[in-house]
Amino acid sequence: MTGRECGGCLKMRETADGVILELYVKPNSRQFRIQTEDDELVVFCREAPVGGRVNRELMKELARVFHKRVEILSGYASRQKQALVRDVSIDEVSEMLSKHV
């Protein structure tokens, strides 16, 4: 996959399918929220890491933030994940994230 990268900002890159975000997930949080720490996108999820519950919450909540379909590409059993936000540009993702971070 080749595409445009966001220079000097969070780890994300644009592809023909959408934008791939590199995330660090922290389960068992009080509320779902997104923040940045050292140029890394950290997502706090309410669910426990059991039976894919965190992954389902992550896809559902990110789809709500971006108003687009979201898929997890890698890291199903890890806290480090890559998620694809479909049919969106890197500029749109940056704008939407700035409202939620």
CATH of residue 77's domain is: 3.30.1200.10
Q: How confident is the model at residue 9 (pLDDT cuts 50, 70, 90)?
A: low
Q: Rounded distance, CA 88 to CA 68, Å?
A: 8
The Cβ of residue 72 has, within 10 Å, a number of other Cβ atoms equal to 19
Q: Does residue 41 register a pLDDT over 90? A: yes
- pTM score of the predicted model: 0.87
The pLDDT mean for the chain works out to: 90
For 95, the domain range is: 12-100
Could you tell me how far CA 90 lies from the centroid of its own chain? 12
Number of domains in the chain: 1
Report yes or no on 85 lying in a domain. yes
Report yes or no on 6 lying in a domain. no
